[in-house]
Amino acid sequence: MRIALYIEEGVEQIVLTPESDTERGIIAKLHSADHDLSIKQGSFYECQGGWVRQGKGEDSTFIVLRAKAVQS
């Protein structure tokens, strides 16, 4: 995965460019209505909210994708 920050007056973007089929699949989920997306801050370890972070620092940002429950 290539990651770039694009900063221009009035615009700030995080650009994710997948380089493998697995990465393309994850990026596709970002655009899917079948997944909820949330943004978390921390480092990697498993926490009560059901996502994974570690350590006690707040240096990392997580984009968390969770499949929506199927309604019948």
Say what the pLDDT of residue 48 is. Answer: 64
Query: Do the Cβ atoms of 45 and 19 come closer than 8 Å?
Result: no
Q: Which domain holds residue 48?
A: 35-72
62 or 10, greater pLDDT: 10
Query: Are residue 52 and residue 64 in the same domain, yes or no?
Result: yes
pLDDT tens-place string over residues 30-60: 998 898 888 888 776 666 666 666 666 777 7
Mean pLDDT value of segment 9-35: 93
Query: Are residue 44 and residue 70 in the same domain, yes or no?
Result: yes
Half-sphere exposure of 9 (CA within 13 A, CB side): 0
Query: Do the Cβ atoms of 59 and 44 come closer than 8 Å?
Result: no
Can you give the C-alpha Rg of the chain in angstroms? 14
Domain count across the chain = 2
Residue 28 in this model has a pLDDT that exceeds 90:
yes
Query: Are residue 17 and residue 2 in the same domain, yes or no?
Result: yes
pTM over 0.75: no
Query: Are residue 40 and residue 69 in the same domain, yes or no?
Result: yes
